[in-house]
Amino acid sequence: MTGKEQSTYATSGVDIHQEEDTIKSLTKTMTYKREGFGAPLTDIGHYAGLMDFGEFAIAMTTDGVGSKVLIANEMGKWDTVGIDCVAMNVNDLLAIGAEPIGFVDYLALEKHKPGFAEEVGIGLAKGAEISKMSIVGGETATLPDVIKGFDLAGTCIGAVKKEDVLTGEKIKVGDVIIGLKSSGIHSNGYSLVRKIIKESPYDYHDYCPYDSKTTIGDELLVPTKIYMEVLDVIKQHEVHGLAHITGSGLLKLRRITNLGFDFDDPIEPPEIFKFLQQQGNVSDLEMYKTFNMGMGFIIIVPEEVAPYVMGLTGGKRVGTIVESGIKVKDLVIE
């Protein structure tokens, strides 16, 4: 792709640094904190918010499917985006050690059409089944002046005993990083994905050049993996930290520790990442700052525990905790 302008997340319309500034502006006045029962146990900014419920902490997350829904519209296929919606919330709960127990969804529509809501519901139900939790309610809004197409988001509640909360403070130098494979792009970076496809010679209905059995659109709609096996790991082994790899890629690891991550043997990215990188002339650094690159979740454990956790999850030893920085082989993630 020599001579072609490099694609970045920022040129697709998403600047992660501006997004961080917006979050800071939004939250800086949120200073009131309830005391006693229901008091917050974590500051805003971790994977999930925690509240004091006696012996337990109640965890809350909220997230949506993002612009992946535009590809679902293009393909006329909406039965998997509900799984994405559940997964993005549940995986954030798991990243703090909480078990998902309830979910509510929010579906905003430009207009109603036959069969659409049923397909969305199929995915939501499947995601809830995988997560072993109930969908207890939701809201549907028709907003033709605001929404073009549809938007799907949700909120998830989980529970964890206070002594079992994992926020990363136990992480230490020398700990082993175990990576769990992603199912594909998951639900982040789709503004860049869509820009790449739009400017390429392909469209969503074309078959993948590396797999003639599936279209590019169907490959991009593969739902986000839900990592429920993490709960078994927590119950059986000593775990020092957990992370859900989502938007802004490995940069989110700064949420859980000030120590560094040395990914000296990362998971090999699936072909869809390589295809997008080639078509968009995207640098290695930009890829790891935008996508999960085949690793959707990481578990950080003591050296002696690592073989057992890999056996339980099918995960791979991808690196170790070091003093500072985030590095993938010789690539420094800033």
Local confidence band at 6 (pLDDT 50, 70, 90 cut-offs): confident
The pLDDT value given to residue 25: 78
Asked whether residue 165 carries a pLDDT value surpassing 60, the answer given is yes
Contact (Cβ atoms closer than 8 angstroms) between residue 255 and residue 217 = no
Give 33 or 269, the one with higher predicted confidence. 269
Band the pLDDT of 234: cuts 50, 70, 90: very high
| pLDDT mean over 144-163 | 96
Q: Which residues pair with 129 in a beta bridge?
A: none
The residue among 42, 12, 44 whose CA lies nearest residue 27 is: 44
Tokens 């905790």 correspond to 321
Nearest by Cα to 183 from 280, 292, 317, 314? 292
| Percentage of residues in the chain having pLDDT higher than 90 | 82
Q: What is the CA radius of gyration of the chain?
A: 20
Among residues of the chain, what percentage have pLDDT more than 70? 96
pLDDT at position 225 is 98
Confidence of residue 11 (pLDDT cuts 50, 70, 90): confident
- Tell me how far apart the alpha carbons of residues 195 and 198 are, in angstroms, rounded to a whole number: 5
Does 2 have pLDDT greater than 60?
A: no
CA distance 41 to 59: 10
pLDDT at 16 over 70: no
